[in-house]
Structure 1
Amino acid sequence: MTLAPLFEAVDATWPAASRTPVGPWILRDGQGGGKRVSATSATNVAQPSDIPVAEAAMTTRGQSLLFTLRPEDREIDAALADRGYGVVDPTNIWLAPIARLTDVPVPRVTAFCIWEPLAIMEEIWAKGGIGPARLDVMARAGEKTGILARWNERPAGAAFAALHEEICMVHAVEILPEQRRQGVASWVMRAAAFWAQARGAQQISVLCTQANTGANRLYSSLGFETVGQYHYRQKDAQKVP
């Protein structure tokens, strides 16, 4: 699979409030939902000489100067570095066939697929910094579910999954600190896979910052493969969470 369908699935399953073409750029309005829904991206005709167009448009809108860079954006990436933009959050794109995660049934009362989110799910997300603005991002997605995990007879974690065509994207995986390193996240991912498989999905994908070594090890152990990366560039004085 090429990366284009995966980036389309990211935009569809973790959607910005709006996406606006400006010259050879796509500007996103995230309304506080984080970098993924706020960063400007290049179309396939954008050139380094077009960067001022994007900067002017973001400034006019009162947005931070923030770009997302994909593998094909090497020249723009280098030009942004020359303009003083720093790299933020290099991120791995993990992908697996759905069947790789549906070979083992999820134990009873371990993970539940629920939408709308329960209050306990919102509390778990909040502890990981996933607040109301990101819940609004979830609400904008199409076919979706939340996942509530239980372990040791207590709430253990929460996640969000949504579908785009035959791809299930999993976002906002948050396991409570006292419930980590017990396999909870594995059951969350398997629950997402079973939910997606029942709706015709063929692939399951998750994004993970390269700095999150524990989560990257988890996805590798589940049979995911790294199929690509992306990162952001932004001005140091204009941080976006």
Structure 2
Amino acid sequence: MEIIGGGLLEVHIKPTDVGKRVSVRCLSDAGIPGEKFTDTVGVLTSWTEGVLLITRRGGESVRIAESTLVAGKVVPAAPARRRGPAASFEELARVTARAWEPVESEPLGDWRLRSAAGFTRRANSVLPLGDPGLPLDEALAYVRGWYAERELPAYIQIATGAEGTQELLGAELARRGWVREVSAQVWTGALAPVGDLDADTDRVRLARSYDEGWLRRYQRFGTPGPQVTKVLGSGPSTWFASVPGAGEAPAAIGRCVVDGRWAGFMAVEVDPEQRRQGLGSAVMAALARRALDEGASAAWLQVEDDNDAARALYGGMGFAAHHSYHHYRAAE
């Protein structure tokens, strides 16, 4: 039943709007004089027993008592970006997945189960783009069993914050005890400005493969095994960058995967003692120029929520957030 409030504020949302993007205002201190309001915008993921659950762009879930609502309406999907390349969530999800190909994968309906002996969550999680072809509980049981056979924790990668993302699935996983871990964002931007950066690219060496020194600087694993070679070398057209340093490891490294119009940047690492000297920008510019030569025009990268230094660097290059993604781990 639609609820109509008094005065100029009206609640024009109802339980049948679950799955839609909404904007609501509620009393933050119900019953306290001087009405204090809280506004929330996100996807309405449930409305049961007098409580609304709204998932914000960044993946945070907000519980709101129906009795505190003073205004609410369905709002259009987030407006299209006004700068940088236009892209749907599904297009970016598939492009980013091809840059981290697993050692082993198996389809489950429209879902894809991925395994790489534990090297990176992206290559060791389910990519759920569509219907698994089974009731959800049966699909989740199959996922848990599949990863248990490989002695790996079961993860599902969920996206939020753009048209077509998976807030409803994330809410269903949370209701079943799955725990959200390691949130990050996918940022996009035009490629040409990255290639045009005023950076000393003469020091940057590009190659189709990496060496032991590159791996020493990367340091995202224990003892490197064949799965590391498989995942890092995956992608339609993959390039590795390095800036020679004084020690055994390069002063800076980077990786770029060119895939049609897209160039994905990852593994950009700089020796902590040589930061703020433009090495990261030089690596990015050199890789961007190579990607432009191969016909790419748009760029993407992934940034963890707590990496403020990377956000500042990439924001200065013209990148901006497209959507967030999260890894949900099955309960023990």
Normalising by structure 1, report the TM-score.
Answer: 0.87
Write the distance in 1 (CA, Å) between the matches of 2:201 and 2:309.
26
Q: What is the DSSP-based 3-state SS (H/G/I as helix, E as strand, rest coil) of the residue aligned with 1:64?
A: coil
What's the counterpart of residue 186 of structure 2?
Answer: 93
| Distance 1:103-1:20 versus aligned 2 partners, 3 A rule | same
Deviations 1:124-148 (A, max 9, x none): 113x548443332022333111010
Structure 1 residues 150-161: aligned runs within 5 Å: 150=244, 155-161=250-256
Deviations 1:95-147 (A, max 9, x none): 11111112235425332211221322122113x54844333202233311101
Q: 1:180 aligns with which of 275, 293, 306?
A: 275
- Mean CA deviation greater in 106-115 or 218-227: 106-115
What's the counterpart of residue 74 of structure 1?
Answer: 167
1:22 matches 2:108: yes
Q: 1:146 aligns with which of 216, 219, 240?
A: 240
1:5 matches 2:91: yes
Q: What is the DSSP-based 3-state SS (H/G/I as helix, E as strand, rest coil) of the residue aligned with 1:155?
A: coil
Structure 1 residues 40-51: aligned runs within 5 Å: 40-46=126-132, 49-51=135-137
What's the counterpart of residue 124 of structure 2?
Answer: 38
Q: Is contact 2:257–2:264 with CA below 8 Å preserved after alignment? A: yes
- Mean CA deviation greater in 85-94 or 24-33: 24-33
| Distance 1:213-1:129 versus aligned 2 partners, 3 A rule | farther
Deviations 1:155-203 (A, max 9, x none): 3111111111110111222222212232221211111111100110011
Q: Is contact 1:85–1:233 with CA below 8 Å preserved after alignment? A: yes
Structure 1 residues 196-211: aligned runs within 5 Å: 196-211=291-306
Shift of 1:32: 2.5
Structure 1 residues 118-137: aligned runs within 5 Å: 118-126=211-219, 128-129=220-221, 131-132=224-225, 133-137=227-231
Name stretches of at least 5 consecutive residues in structure 2 with no aligned partner: 1-86
Look up the equivalent residue of 1:144 and give its one-letter code.
T
Cα RMSD, aligned residues only: 2.4
Higher helix share: 1
| Distance 1:58-1:186 versus aligned 2 partners, 3 A rule | same
Aligned residues: 236
Q: Is contact 1:48–1:76 with CA below 8 Å preserved after alignment? A: no
| Distance 1:105-1:151 versus aligned 2 partners, 3 A rule | farther
Write the distance in 1 (CA, Å) between the matches of 2:323 and 2:251.
30
Look up the equivalent residue of 1:191 and give its one-letter code.
A
Q: What is the DSSP-based 3-state SS (H/G/I as helix, E as strand, rest coil) of the residue aligned with 1:230?
A: strand
| Distance 1:50-1:236 versus aligned 2 partners, 3 A rule | closer
Normalising by structure 2, report the TM-score.
Answer: 0.65
Write the distance in 2 (CA, Å) between the matches of 1:236 and 1:192.
40
Write the distance in 2 (CA, Å) between the matches of 1:51 and 1:96.
38
Shift of 1:208: 1.0
Q: What is the DSSP-based 3-state SS (H/G/I as helix, E as strand, rest coil) of the residue aligned with 1:218?
A: helix
Q: What is the DSSP-based 3-state SS (H/G/I as helix, E as strand, rest coil) of the residue aligned with 2:93?
A: helix
Shift of 1:46: 4.8
Answer 1 or 2: higher relative contact order, Cα 8 Å, separation at least 6: 1
